[in-house]
Structure 1
Amino acid sequence: MLEFSQHQERVFFGMSAYFCFEGIPFHAIVHKREIIEESRDKFVIRDEDTVILSYPKSGTNWLIETVCLIQTKGNPKWIQSVPVWQRSPWIETKKGFPILINKEGPRLMSSHLPFHLFPKSFFRSKAKVIYIIRNPRDVLVSAYFFRHKINLIDNPESLGTYFELFLKGNVTYGSWFEHTRNWLSMRENDNFLLLSYEDMKKNTRGTIEKICDFLGKKLEADELDLVLKYSSFQAMKENKMSNFSLVPEHMVTNGLVLLRKGTTGDWKNHFTVAQAEAFDKVFQEKMAGFPPGLFPWKYP
């Protein structure tokens, strides 16, 4: 269970912007306590479903775009006509949950839920999960800048403030370290595919082929080329169904930029030497026991 200081409670719970469910903070704007509880205890994930799972700001929407294009063999009509949050609804959100419970046939869905809050039915199913991880230093920086584009939540006044909250797990969806540790316990399961943002950047085509194999999808070379083309950073940035430009203006500041840079290692431009050292120390403590080769970024 997370413990919050009075200052952190103001950051989280000021103006009822957040609520805490079993130790995990959630946005009251997009989440509801009853939905999270119902999705965990009663929502049925079917054998034919596919779930895209991640900690926030790990490349989730890029992965969704890629999987959607794999399903259409590179045809961009679907991704250019239906918003990303409708193509792969979020299990735990007010808008996503009703769509999923009423949808028939194989479903594509997304989630940031930690292991202990994920639908229990998944663990008795053959449904496939694709879990994407990203260097948590880049996750932290990306999340900080993203938050400052949203008007409906309390934003930390500095990167330094957010840095401390992140290391303690006092951020939306809780600790990156706990989220990742727990989900990585599934990595040897046949219905669990582990990907990394860094590998997707380094070898995008190879990653797409790996996803195709996992999902049992056979794409020809020209179809793979189309998936690459329409899931590129520039293509997604220009696609209003994928770049979140459809979000109402009153909710954002100077336009919501979902795709800010699309790079790796940006944390080096923002961390101080002391912050980098502090982060490495926490990483070593929290992620002890995992082989260094499991993470595609530099291991402390």
Structure 2
Amino acid sequence: MSTYFWFEGIPFSSIAHIREIIEESHDKFVIRDEDTVIVSYPKSGTNWLIETVCLIQTKGNPKWIQSVPTWERSPWIEIQKGHLTLINKEGPRLMTSHLPFHLFPKSFFRSKAKVIYVIRNPRDVLVSAYFFQYNKNLIDNPESLGTYIEWFLKGNVPYGSWFEHTRDWLSMRGNDKFLLLSYEDMKKNTRGTIEKICDFLGKKLEPDELDLVLEYSSFQAMKENKMSNSSHILNGVIINGLVLMRKGVAGDWKNHFTVAQAETFDKVFQEKMAGFPPGLFPWK
């Protein structure tokens, strides 16, 4: 994994990350009581959640999401540009992170800040990440899906093991400053999920405002919004042929896994995620 560096047992892309910023994020970055943080393992619906929360904040008015890029509306704690933006930003901040629990800013655990954590079927996460990385120059190119499944199950992928990331963050369940969402529930009951986020953040939307949030956070609307699909900045600058938003569906893994691969994955999932209550993972 030549394009990675390891920090506290986690691989990070050396193109996107700087070791000192990861370290500073953990030890020195101050999360304030009024902040809201969107946290996820990569390819779990992060940008969709950011879009939804931004639209809730503007009561469905799309002006902000259509004029300011995603990473400026909700900067990344562990990416240098976002890190510096957040340090200098006044007032309540919306921010994003893929950091695992043990590398998350220590200050969060002493604060009243709120975290929204979104999970997704790891098989779909894996397939989405594979197509995101395949034939790109950003990180190591997996030669086949079979190869990527091996990397994924060992945690030799950006931000490490899905199983550890999810298991550790789920230890926050039951804490009133932690909201757990799933990509699958967001797809199945988008309106209900928006209402749940509003309750958690103490926001009140009128029915017509909620309709606008639904409309402008849809997959099609986001795919057509250059500030959300990142095409205007990423293509040709960082990666050629980048597709940040590929399909936006649940269950696509079934079109790609062989029976043997599915059985191997299931076995690892059962071992790694043993002890969680039935129904916590909506894709099972």
Shift of 1:250: 4.3
Give the Cα separation in 1 of the matches to 2:71 and 2:133.
Answer: 18
Q: Please tell me whether the aligned partners of residues 11 and 158 of structure 2 are also in contact (alpha carbons under 8 angstroms).
A: yes
Give the Cα separation in 1 of the matches to 2:185 and 2:22.
Answer: 31
Q: Please tell me whether the aligned partners of residues 149 and 257 of structure 1 are also in contact (alpha carbons under 8 angstroms).
A: no
Local SS of the residue matching 2:64: coil
2:240 corresponds to which letter in structure 1?
T
Q: TM-score, normalised by structure 1?
A: 0.93
- Which of residues 2, 13, 37 is equivalent to 1:27? 13
Give the Cα separation in 1 of the matches to 2:8 and 2:208.
Answer: 47
Local SS of the residue matching 1:185: helix
- Tell me if 1:249 matches 2:222: no
Q: Give % identity.
A: 84
Query: Which residue pairs with 2:155 in the alignment?
Result: 169
- Tell me if 1:58 matches 2:69: no
Q: How many positions carry a matched residue from both structures?
A: 283
Give the Cα separation in 2 of the matches to 1:96 and 1:250.
Answer: 18
Query: Which residue pairs with 1:220 in the alignment?
Result: 206
User: Which 5+ residue runs of structure 2 have no aligned equivalent?
Assistant: none
Within 5 Å, give how 1:141-156 maps onto structure 2: 141-148=127-134, 150-156=136-142
Give the Cα separation in 1 of the matches to 2:270 and 2:4.
Answer: 30
- Which of residues 219, 222, 226 is equivalent to 1:233? 219
Local SS of the residue matching 1:181: helix
- Which of residues 85, 105, 108 is equivalent to 1:122? 108
Give the Cα separation in 1 of the matches to 2:139 and 2:49.
Answer: 26
Query: Which residue pairs with 2:167 in the alignment?
Result: 181
Q: Please tell me whether the aligned partners of residues 148 and 253 of structure 1 are also in contact (alpha carbons under 8 angstroms).
A: no
Shift of 1:187: 1.0
1:96 corresponds to which letter in structure 2?
G
Q: Please tell me whether the aligned partners of residues 135 and 141 of structure 2 are also in contact (alpha carbons under 8 angstroms).
A: no
Shift of 1:253: 3.0
CA RMSD in angstroms comes to 0.9
User: Which 5+ residue runs of structure 1 have no aligned equivalent?
Assistant: 1-11
Local SS of the residue matching 1:241: helix
Give the Cα separation in 1 of the matches to 2:44 and 2:211.
Answer: 24
Local SS of the residue matching 1:292: coil
CA shift digits 1:4-28 (9 cap, x unpaired): xxxxxxxx12xxx211101100011
CA shift digits 1:184-230 (9 cap, x unpaired): 00011000000000000000000000000000000000000000000
Give the Cα separation in 2 of the matches to 1:259 and 1:152.
Answer: 17
Within 5 Å, give how 1:96-115 maps onto structure 2: 96-115=82-101
Q: TM-score, normalised by structure 2?
A: 0.98
